[in-house]
Amino acid sequence: MEAYCLKCRASREVKNPEEVVLKNGRPATRGSCTVCDASVFRIGKSS
């Protein structure tokens, strides 16, 4: 699964994806970038 990394400015594979729920109840996925190790965030369920 991929998410957009703001540090690399590219779509990267998510390392250690973790499912979270936003304040409005929508599912999201949080993890870290495999290239630069910055945190990445993606709204929507991990597939």
Q: Express each pLDDT in 6-47 by its tens digit.
A: 899 999 999 999 999 999 999 999 999 999 999 998 988 655
2 falls in which pLDDT band (50, 70, 90)?
confident
What are the helix and strand counts (H, E) for the chain? Answer: 0, 4
pTM (2 d.p.): 0.69
pLDDT, residue 37, reads: 92
Give 3-15 pLDDT, tens digit per residue. Answer: 888 899 999 999 9
- Residues 24 and 15: their CA atoms lie apart, in Å, by 25
Number of structural domains found in the chain: 1
Instruction: Extract the tokens encoding 9.
Output: 């400015």
Q: Are 15 and 34 in contact (CB under 8 A)?
A: yes
Which domain range does residue 12 map to?
A: 2-43
- 37 class by beta-carbon count within 10 Å (0-12 exposed, 13-18 middle, 19+ buried): exposed
